Structure 1
Amino acid sequence: MKTKQRLINSFTLEYHPLVASLLREEITVPSPAGVIDHLHEREIHILLKTITLNVISVTREHFLLLTPEPLFALLRQHPCAQSQKVSLCEYQHSADNIEQTITTLMFTLPALQNSYQSSHLKTLASRLNNAKSTHSISANTLPKKSRLALFAGVSPSAIRLDNKKLARNDDKSKGKA
């Protein structure tokens, strides 16, 4: 496997047939209409830098995705994304290798990540709360809850703290004092 940077407009993607068959029953919720228009060019650039597409090569300009990448699918719709680069992690063509790679990326990885991820909306609320209370990020840079809600496709009131968790954490900190 090797990783390289490629201009987004220099290649095409489709799902590997095994991945496509695994996804055929999956229900995906599309991003709210026009959400991509609310992202700034710098945000697109930063977000694309965080993505690595796991692929195998069909030709120099055509790749098969080994796992879904919905954020990339969304970001590549923005006009400025076409002139940006994204990382491609290219795997070898061996059938056994690809099957093992796909099962690892589509089953093992999400299972392992589950125990480390709390609700994304609660995480956003907690981070916003911490940033506001510590003034660690300037108000100009800190995104508004309404903007985050637009991106998440929820009401701003859905981005809220878990009061039960806060109460438990307060009890723990009081016990240590």
Structure 2
Amino acid sequence: MVCHSEEFVLSVLQDKSYFNRLSDHLIEQILGLECDDFSRLRRAIDAVEAGSPTTRFPGDFRPSGLLAGYGHFHYRKGDWAATNLAAEFRKPITQSLDITVDALADKVVAKGGDPDAELEKLINKFSRRIGQASGDWVLYCDGLSGREYLAINQHTDPNSDEERELRRLLDRIVAGNAQH
């Protein structure tokens, strides 16, 4: 379910000093977010705008990578814990936390282990990692009027087909913004 009405979300965004630096693509993405995710995204952008990002490593992508020329910071969607737990244990990142935990338990049982004890170890390991865990990317580039926020996207593997497609999308957004 999306957050309130489009009019409400747009009115909240229009009150932000950076509204004119949000791409049409990003606005469309925002209109599809649930309320909690919209709030988290808005707080992340507000923090970056205030010069105190909440993400550990904001900034430009590697100059030699496919996303060179673009920058990013993170925001934590409601499912960020499930995503990071799944990534830690090489499980699909699009599944719920319950499914991820069940899959890990099934793996332990298949090896003849005690699922409760093993899951407690895994969760403790993950809990120590939480300070380093991240959420989805907010992608931007520097434009004439300041930082232009282009899109939100899940992490991609370096040099993957998904990263190539993301690069094409970002380039199209920037080219579209230049025509306005």
TM category, shorter: under 0.3
TM-score (norm 2): 0.23
Larger Rg: 1
TM-score (norm 1): 0.24
